Amino acid sequence: MAITFNETTRIFTLTTAHTTYQMQADAQGYLLHLYYGARTAGEMDYLLNYGDRGFSGNPNSAGSDRTYSLDALPQEYPSLGTGDFRNYALNIENADGSQCCNPVYITHEIAAGKYTLKGLPFVRAEENEAETLKIILEDPVTKVELHLLYGVLEKEDIITRSVIIKNAGKAPVTVKKAQSACLDFLHGDYDLIKFYGRHAMERNMERMPVSHESTRIGSRRGTSSHQYNPGVILAGKNTNEDSGSCYGMLFVYSGNFLVEAEKDQYDQTRIQMGLTDELFAYPLEAGAEFIAPEVILSYTNKGLSRLSQQYHHCIMNHICQGKYVHANRPVLINSWEAAYFDFTGDTIVELAKEAKALGIDMVVMDDGWFGKRNDDNSSLGDWYVNEEKLGGTLTKLIERVNAEGVKFGIWIEPEMVSEDSDLYREHPEWAITIPGRKPVRSRNQLVLDFSRKEVRDEIFKRICAVLDQGNVEYIKWDMNRSLADIYAPNVTYDYVLGVYDFLEKLTNRYPDILIEGCSGGGGRFDAGMLYYTPQIWCSDNTDAINRTRIQYGTSFFYPVAAMGSHVSAVPNHQTGRVTSMHTRGVAAMSGTFGYELNPALLNAKEKAEIRAQLAQYREYQELIREGDYYRLSNPFQDNFAAWMVVSDDRSKALVSVIRLTAEANPPAAYVTLKGMEEDAFYREKTTGKVYPGAALMEAGILLPAAVSEYEAYQIALERADCR
């Protein structure tokens, strides 16, 4: 069994293929965290350290024992008001205005299969793939119950955490803070790896020591945000890609979040993840419950690459859903950088003709097809087709595109409304605003209140009326601003649940439509959205050189198959940089692969290069999507960006390299490979050269001498019979 309980010691042990997680309901009833790390036998309560800590208080239940303090003991779910002065996971405001919850162990349940969460995305698993532990804690005064949920996916080395807060008392309470997972370490020196950024430059990896202070990162923007991603890694000081201990925490949620990490006065480390306590206070009447979103935990002592692969496998097999997850996806060309708002139906059809001639599968009609929208100042919410602009009905346009042998996709932004729109003029109260105040504008648009069912239902009806007009096979779902006018403290949470409700209905109604998430690019790139959309536009920045950094940071948690990545025109529309078609193609193949340009402006040589790219991608798309991913360099530090994917049986590999600098008389450059079979030989497809697997991983492979700036290389290797 993956979950066991010792009734004598009251120790819970959660075991995966390579890890052990252990906690104890002690004599006082408090749930203490004992251990999380490499798989081990036995019980770890001997690690607990008791001493008279002076200013660290003692719970009343400890009597005269001054050595028992929750301010020094490792806890599974620390709460404000118990004498623990460190970061706390829970804060309950009671009916009398006091802020205190003193949860103690009552009972537990162990069951086959994985728990589910009502209204929220979660890690899915078949009954034979997982086990669930539910531990019930209760405050003896208010009768507030905490249902701590643990899902154990043994083969995947994954443990999930969530909390359901139930008001089993008679008086109302308010949840003012609800983290989903806390890890307490009694000793050790750690680094915190986080992923910061901004619009068009998301998920930059940054590593910093956990020190004697509280480090807080998160989002108060209403989305997981461009600024911080809801995934962090706690790593040993010497941990690198290939060795060392590291713990991952990934939030399965698309709204505001908070990560807190601190080293306390006794050099113990606490890290926790969950909902932010800013712009949040959730009322619970008697009998009501609140569900905290899920955190995915994973650990390895084999380095960062292994940790990433564990998350990639979990997301691909237990988060993403639908027919496209493990299938070859259409290569698309998007109209945005090809035409922006300046297009007609004939423009889209001409794009389809060009796409067909090149071998591209799909054309996506981006922003500008509805209402009177010819710029970004109007018409959001007016989801009816501008037939005058398109020169006919959407049905006719889709038929014309399909007649060229090309699939059709469309852009939508359901969560937004323009003040210059019929919808806003009819229902201004449907926008999120603070009563009595003028709203904050962003991109000259407001946010619809998706916490309200009547709003969601009306927008859903309008979107379905559009999608039902023809053979739409792809949706790009965008969301182009942050939430600012928070009129009530429950809105940020209920809004995200409303978005999930909308997506749940949409995917159920249109199971054959591929949906790509987007929020100004990567502003909502998280596991919560991936539950509904198996790919997300990685960034609005399509510059191949910048993308090496963006996609590098993204890869620590998210699989290549989830990263929307396209070849765009040069000079690049975001940076002005000029790179070769080949270099842009190599960068985009570390993603879903597509195009963001106008083929009519390309010369014959460039079109031939696109055809060659498509042939290369289609030959290796399954390997790229399903293979184990390895980072071979750090583009924030090294002169080149390099990565590779290796098939599960180690018989094939594809290595990608992009030079980031150009120098006169440079030293030779070598790339050391990973994941190969040591005793095997591998033949390079282009040159026919044969290399020993061990040599590729020890000495590496020599890159060609550079003759131009930003050169890129792809090296395809297959196992050869040369033993």
Catalytic residues: 526, 606
List CB contacts of 589: < 8 A, sequence separation 6 or more.
565, 613, 616, 617, 620, 624, 656, 714
Q: Which residues of 510-538 are buried (b: 16+ CB within 10 A; e: fewer)?
A: beebbbbbbbbbbbbbbbbbbbbbbbbbb
Report d(CA 151, CA 161) in Å as an integer. Answer: 7
Place of tokens 């605003």: 433
- Evaluate the CA torsion angle 374, 375, 377, 379 in order and state its sign: positive
CA neighbor of 675 nearest in space, from 621, 624, 630? 630
Query: How are beta strands 628-631 and 640-646 bridged, if at all?
Result: antiparallel
Tokens, residue 229: 């991603």
Structure token pair of residue 23:
């906690």
3-class SS at 587? helix
Evaluate the CA torsion angle 398, 455, 527, 441 in order and state its sign. Answer: positive
SS3 state at 350: helix
Residue 290, both tokens: 């609140």
| d(C-alpha 618, C-alpha 238), whole Å | 39
Rounded Cα distance, 172 and 493, in Å: 19
**Can you tell me the distance from the alpha carbon of 398 to that of 377, in angstroms, rounded to the nearest whole number?**
26
Output DSSP code: residue 339.
H
Residue type at position 526:
D
Cα torsion 595, 598, 600, 603 to 10°: value is: -60
CA triplet 128, 14, 255: central angle to 5 degrees?
Answer: 85
CA 581 to chain centre: 29
H/E element, 527: helix 527-530
Q: Which of 584, 658, 592 is nearest to 625 (CA)?
A: 592
What are the DSSP calls for 261-291, one per residue? EEE-TTS-EEEEEE--STT--EEE-TT-EEE
**DSSP H/E element including 422:** helix 422-426
DSSP β-bridge partners for residue 151? 132, 160
What letter would DSSP give residue 508? H
d(CA 7, CA 316): 37
Token pair for 524? 């909502």
Q: Torsion angle of alpha carbons 234, 236, 237, 239, nearest 10°?
A: -100
Residue among 536, 523, 477, 538 nearest 502 (CA): 477
Residue 624 has phi, psi (to 5 degrees) of -60, -40
Orientation angle between helical segments 491-509 and 453-467, nearest 10 degrees: 30
Number of H helices, E strands in the chain: 13, 38
Give the separation between CA 695 and CA 117, rounded to whole angstroms: 48
CA dist., res. 611 & res. 609, Å (int)? 5
Cα dihedral 262, 268, 273, 274 sign: negative
> How many whole angstroms from its chain centre is CA 590?
16
Quick one: how far is CA 477 from the chain centroid? 16
Q: How far apart are CA 149 and CA 564, in angstroms?
A: 33
